[in-house]
């Protein structure tokens, strides 16, 4: 092999080596691109949730729609939402009522009577086993279920905690008057569960001195009757046996 042939061979070898090196780099780069494109990320990027802008003004709750003026609505059924009455309003109203003189209290009850008469709704019993139902319009939480049974009016259930002080007995008496179911001899509050009354009875108070005792006395006076006696009686089942439930009975003169 002469020198010219040797030089040509070396030049060809160097060219092939350079070409192989170029192809190797290009293949490695292609593989890196493919990995970055198809490889699944090991961690999920955190998503940033857009924060809602805070309102510049606080929206007030809608007032309950009750017939009558705005002043009347707030007096009888104060509160922001139908069926609700803030505890502070109840406490304040009752504290104000407790400071009234007898004459002022009489005028207050007449005011309550006029307002309740505007909003009182009555559904008569549909059968001998059904009960009359009295409610306050647009306030289903205030209600009373009752019936005339022989010579007595039995109040099976009454809920008036959302009303002002004194309005509960006015609501009950007006419901009795409107229904025409007035008692002859007794008013019976069935199944005493009112906590304050139960505590007072347990402490030794006489029935007429308890919360429900004062309530029933006021109802009797509103329908033009006087109380001769208030007593506690155990309920009797249809089979003639005494039960754990107790009634408060108001015997009328």
Mean pLDDT computed over 196-205: 96
| Residue 112 counted as domain residue | no
| Residue 196 counted as domain residue | yes
| Residue 61 counted as domain residue | no
**43, pLDDT greater than 90:** no
| Residue 166 counted as domain residue | yes
pLDDT tens digit sequence for 157-198: 999 888 888 899 999 999 999 999 999 999 999 999 999 999
From start to end of 14-166, where are the E strands? 120-123, 132-136, 139-149, 152-159
| Residue 134 counted as domain residue | yes
Both structure tokens of 202: 């347990």
Domain span including residue 199: 120-252
| Residue 132 counted as domain residue | yes
Q: Would you state the pLDDT for residue 82? A: 35
**71, pLDDT greater than 50:** no
Identify the band that residue 74 occupies on the pLDDT scale cut at 50, 70 and 90. Answer: very low
Backbone φ and ψ of 26, nearest 5°: -65, -40
Rounded to whole angstroms, the Cα distance separating 192 from 128 reads 24
| Residue 167 counted as domain residue | yes
| Domain count for the chain | 1
**52, pLDDT greater than 60:** no
Residue 223's nearest CA partner among 162, 181, 168, 192 is 181
Domain CATH number, residue 233: 3.40.630.30
Both structure tokens of 31: 């593989």
| Residue 76 counted as domain residue | no
Both structure tokens of 92: 């304040």
């Amino acid at each position: 092999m002469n020198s010219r042939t040797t030089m040509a061979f070396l030049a060809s070898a160097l060219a092939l080596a350079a070409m192989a090196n170029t192809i190797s780099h290009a293949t490695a780069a292609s593989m890196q691109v493919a990995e970055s494109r198809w490889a699944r990320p090991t961690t999920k990027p955190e998503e940033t949730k857009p924060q809602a802008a805070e309102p510049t003004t606080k929206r007030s709750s809608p007032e309950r729609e009750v017939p009558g003026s705005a002043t009347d609505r707030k007096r009888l059924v104060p509160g922001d939402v139908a069926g609700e009455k803030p505890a502070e309003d109840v406490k304040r109203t009752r504290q104000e009522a407790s400071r009234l003189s007898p004459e002022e209290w009489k005028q207050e009850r007449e005011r309550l009577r006029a307002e309740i008469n505007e909003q009182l709704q009555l559904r008569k019993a549909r059968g001998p086993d059904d009960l009359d139902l009295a409610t306050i319009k647009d306030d289903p939480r205030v209600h009373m279920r009752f019936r005339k049974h022989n010579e007595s009016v039995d109040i099976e259930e009454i809920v008036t905690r959302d009303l002002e002080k004194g309005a509960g007995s006015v609501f009950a008496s007006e419901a009795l008057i409107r229904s025409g179911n007035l008692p002859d001899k007794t008013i019976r509050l069935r199944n005493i569960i009112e906590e304050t009354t139960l505590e007072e009875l347990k402490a030794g108070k006489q029935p007429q001195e308890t919360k429900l005792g004062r309530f029933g006395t006021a109802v009797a006076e509103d329908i033009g009757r006087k109380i001769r006696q208030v007593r506690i009686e155990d309920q009797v089942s249809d089979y003639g046996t005494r039960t754990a439930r107790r009634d408060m009975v108001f015997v009328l003169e």
